Structure 1
Amino acid sequence: MKKNIAYCGLSCGDCPAHMATINDDDELRGKIASEWSNEDIKLERGDINCLGCRSDETVICFAKACLTRACAIERGVEYCILCDNYICEKLEPVFRTSPEAKENLEKIKEELCGKNE
């Protein structure tokens, strides 16, 4: 199973917050906090800690509020592609901004279910 792939197919390994966490890189945390902050959300260096949304431990604030994550947990699916409602409206914005997420999910389904399903 792809532990570093989110329910929606995003790759945690490509996420700078994940990298800052696993490498305990405070300089990168500060840079990310600055880049990801806006007038509505002010992030501090200490806010940038995430082991991925599938983690039971450290999850960044955005993942805690993610409707896709909450839905997958509620439905008990390991990945959205395994849900009866795949592709739903929660995934459309993810796929629009990160088409590689859909590709990741399709690869996972092939691995889990075989190419004929």
Structure 2
Amino acid sequence: MNKHNQLIAACGLNCNECDIFQAPNNPEIAQEIVDWFKKEKDTEAKIEDVRCLGCNGDRTKHWSPDCWILKCCVDKNGLEFCNQCTDFPCEKLNQWAKESKGYEEALNRLKEMKRKSLDCDLSED
């Protein structure tokens, strides 16, 4: 795994663009997230709980250790990214990508990574 890939989640989200990933080093962002949870979800969150080390980090410090994509891709199939799966992109991932622009961008990132990987494989022949 190269250094760049360590910051890309199994689903294609870019960890560097994620507020939760940035929160431990940015108290302002952390507080905004805590406030959002209180207002939008009527849930009390603590600043120290707003953290994530990414899919390749310590799962106990992952924002969503029960993430269905992480469980399918990494735990079930032993892959680093969804685009390495023979079913990529599966219907469930396509539906997920329709939920937000960020998720759609993540899926497109995975497609581009796969295309570049295939291009590299072809150039090695």
Fold shared, TM-score > 0.5 on shorter chain: yes
Q: Distance in 1 between matches of 2:93 and 2:44?
A: 26
Show the 5 A alignment for 1:11-30.
Answer: 11-21=14-24, 24-30=25-31
What is the TM-score with the length of structure 1 in the denominator? 0.80
- Give the number of the structure whose alpha-carbon radius of gyration is greater: 2
Counterpart of 2:78, as a letter, is G
Alignment match of 1:91 (pick from 73, 90, 93): 93
Query: Taking every aligned residue pair, what percent have the same amino acid on both sides?
Result: 27
Q: Is residue 101 from structure 1 mapped to residue 106 from structure 2 by the alignment?
A: yes
Instruction: Please identify runs of 4+ aligned residues in structure 1 that moved more than 3 A.
Output: none
- Distance 1:91-1:19 versus aligned 2 partners, 3 A rule: same
- The residue aligned with 1:31 is 32
Alignment match of 1:110 (pick from 111, 115, 123): 115
Q: Distance in 2 between matches of 1:59 and 1:66?
A: 9
Post-superposition offset of 1:116: 8.0
- The residue aligned with 1:6 is 9
- Distance 1:109-1:26 versus aligned 2 partners, 3 A rule: same
Question: Secondary structure, in 3 states, of the residue corresponding to 2:55?
Answer: coil
User: Where is the helix percentage greater, Structure 1 or Structure 2?
Assistant: 2
- Distance 1:93-1:11 versus aligned 2 partners, 3 A rule: farther
- Distance 1:45-1:8 versus aligned 2 partners, 3 A rule: same
Compare relative contact order (CA 8 Å, sep 6+) and give the higher one, 1 or 2: 1
- The residue aligned with 1:48 is 50
Q: Output one character per residue of 1:25-70: Cα deviation in whole Å (capped at 9) or x when no partner.
A: 223211112213413x43221110112122135211xx21210101
Aligned length, in residue pairs: 112
- The residue aligned with 2:80 is 78
